[in-house]
Amino acid sequence: MHLIMVGINHETAPVEFREKLAFNHDECTEALAALKKRDYVSECIMLSTCNRTELYVRTSPDAPLDRDAVSEALADYLTECKNVETLNRDLFYVRYDKYAARHLFRVAAGLESMIKGEAQILAQVRDAYSTACKVRSCDFFTHKLMHTAFRAGKRARSETDIGIGAVSVSLAAVELAERIYRKLSEKKALVVGAGEMARLTAEHFMSKGIRSLTVANRTLEKAETLSSELGARAVPFKNLVEEISEADVVITSTAAPYYIINPGIMQVAMKLRRNRQIFLIDIAVPRNIDPKVKRLYNVFAHDIDDLNLIVDRNLERRRAEMPRVERIVRQELESFQNWHSSLGVTPTIKDLVGTIDEIRREEIKKSAKYFDDEQLEHIDALTRSIVKKILHHPITKLRESGNGQSDGTFWADTVRNIFNLRKTPDE
């Protein structure tokens, strides 16, 4: 295949090293354009995310370097691009040919992610391919390679549960709310806090189509900043009781070292809401909600331990799906290998059909004077049908050999010798 992959990821290097080799879109574009000009590179693609940076390169047939030398050159190239030449080479991993393709398919399927089955990686693989296409560092081989990877990733998510279930506390909070209220589009949510966890939770609520979302924070300016980014509403912390009385779901995520919601506050809020049920989800550590509020009528409260149980169950569910995803990867790898193997016999099939058809047409031409136009049309159709049937078995045998079922080179050479076909350029 002449395929080489060199990379660094979360399994081989801590974040302080990965961030040194992280490429943004413009840097990827520039790096690929320059790499494509090197005499040992035929096609190339770069995948760079927060957890990995990988180069996939198909070397030129006449590359002046062997594959080990190319892998060293590619690692050097990555470090040179980011001015970190001193980066330890032990942090890099290398894959060749079918193992490089298999690695890419596993990445697209979510098997190589820090969190198995993560949703973002397939889109990131697509973006990497799009960037390579724009700088024209792709050709027929990497086009096929990447589209096979897309299919592996898509099948993994449609045919298995590898991507099902929340695997973060913030998303688990929203998933729990969805279990409680099947239609979030009819409900109101209140997020107390404006830090990173509060932001993530608010973003998840908005993506799920919550009817309305309100952000409360001790520093109103921070609440306003977050709410303006999300299209939510910001309120001062002093209005907390009133806002609780209007919400269906309350998520707390502040750094307060004490309970900001206690039984007294909830009693007032429940009176204002006429004791309609309410769900409280506390994702803060230390906790923001006094567990005693559970004693109040129609108040249902959950803390981060409850959410972690959900996350753990979902992670276990994803791990259980990994063998099924591995099977999909194997199937797609076999399909890709068969396609690649068939490339070796395609020129022979093309030459065989062309040579026999040329003989057919020449013979018709010699006898054309004995027939009128209508008869010649019938003769042309008849001889085409005869040639097609005669060549059916040889072509079938060649295609089977090209799919790795037998020695493709042997059968291609045999057919060329029997039919006296011209040698291909690489022969």
pLDDT tens digits, residue range 307-339? 999 899 999 999 999 999 999 999 999 999 888
- The active-site residue out of 28, 44, 50, 133 is 50
Same domain flag for 83 and 229? no
Q: In the chain, how many domains are there?
A: 3
Q: What pLDDT, on the 0 to 100 scale, is given for residue 397?
A: 79
Of 302, 332, 367, at which residue does a domain stop? 302
pLDDT at 402: 63
Q: Are residues 208 and 228 in the same domain?
A: yes
* Residue with the larger pLDDT of the pair 184 and 346: 184
Residue written as tokens 């990995």? 52
- Banded pLDDT at 371 (limits 50, 70, 90): very high
Q: Give residue 346's pLDDT band: very low, low, confident or very high (50, 70, 90).
A: confident
113 shares a domain with 257: no
Give the phi and the psi of residue 53 in degrees, each rounded to 5.
-135, 120
Report d(CA 50, CA 364) in Å as an integer: 66
Give the range among 188-197, 255-264, 332-341 with minimum mean pLDDT.
Answer: 332-341
- DSSP per residue, 219-259: SHHHHHHHHHHHT-EEEEGGGHHHHHHH-SEEEE----SS-
Percentage of the chain lying above the pLDDT 90 cut: 68
Taking Cα atoms as reference points, which of 240, 186, 238, 231 lies closest to residue 213?
Answer: 231
180 band by pLDDT with thresholds 50, 70 and 90: confident
Q: Which residues contact 160 (CB under 8 A, 6 or more apart)?
A: 321, 324, 325, 328
Which of 310, 340, 370 is a domain's end point? 340
Confidence (pLDDT) at 87: 80
Residue 156 has pLDDT above 80, yes or no: yes
Global confidence as pTM: 0.72
Same domain (yes/no): 356, 336 = no
Q: What is the structure's pLDDT at 66?
A: 86
Q: Do 97 and 215 fall within a single domain? A: no
**Residue 50 and residue 23: Cα distance in Å, rounded?**
9
User: Is residue 209 one of the residues assigned to a domain?
Assistant: yes
H or E element, residue 47: strand 41-48
Q: How confident is the model at residue 86 (pLDDT cuts 50, 70, 90)?
A: confident
Does the residue 173 lie in any domain?
Answer: yes
Residue 406 has pLDDT above 60, yes or no: no
* Top-confidence residue, 427 or 247: 247
3-state SS class at 56 = strand
Residue 425 has pLDDT above 60, yes or no: no
CA–CA distance, 1 with 141 (Å, rounded to integer): 9
pLDDT of residue 221: 94
Domain that holds residue 234: 169-302
User: pLDDT at position 401, please?
Assistant: 72
Confidence of residue 54 (pLDDT cuts 50, 70, 90): very high
Average pLDDT, the chain: 90
d(CA 370, CA 349): 33
Is there a single domain that holds both residue 290 and residue 335? no
336 and 349, same structural domain? no
Tell me 152's DSSP state.
Answer: H
- Is there a domain that residue 220 lies in? yes
Q: Please tell me the distance from the alpha carbon of residue 187 to that of residue 276, in angstroms, as a whole number.
A: 13
The mean pLDDT value for 3-25 works out to 92
CATH code, domain carrying 127: 3.30.460.30
For residue 423, pLDDT beyond 90: no
The arithmetic mean of pLDDT across residues 97-116, rounded, is 94
Residues 376, 229 share a domain? no
Same domain, 35 and 148: yes
8 A C-beta contact, residue 168 and residue 204: no
Task: Determine, yes or no, domain membership for 407.
Answer: yes
Residue 87: φ, ψ to 5°: -60, 130
Considering only residues 353 and 410, tell me which one the structure prediction assigns the higher pLDDT: 353
Contact 190, 216 (CB under 8 A): yes
CA distances from 64 to 77, 308, 344, 366 (A): 17, 54, 23, 51
pLDDT recorded at residue 408: 66
The reported pLDDT for the residue numbered 265 is 96
Cis-peptide, bond into residue 286, ω within 30° of zero: yes
Within this chain, do residues 333 and 394 fall inside the same structural domain, yes or no?
A: no
Tell me whether residue 312 is in a domain.
no
pLDDT score for 427: 42
Q: Does residue 221 sit within a domain? A: yes
Token representation of residue 292: 């005693």
Read off the CATH number of the domain in which 183 is found.
3.40.50.720
Same domain, 294 and 177: yes
Known catalytic membership, residue 138: no
Phi-psi map region of 141: left, alpha, beta (phi>0 left; psi -120 to 50 alpha): alpha
Choice between 146 and 352, residue whose per-residue pLDDT is larger: 146
Model pLDDT, residue 426: 44
Nearest CA to 261 among 250, 271, 272?
250
C-alpha 212/C-alpha 215 separation (Å) is 10
Say yes or no: 285 and 398 in one domain. no
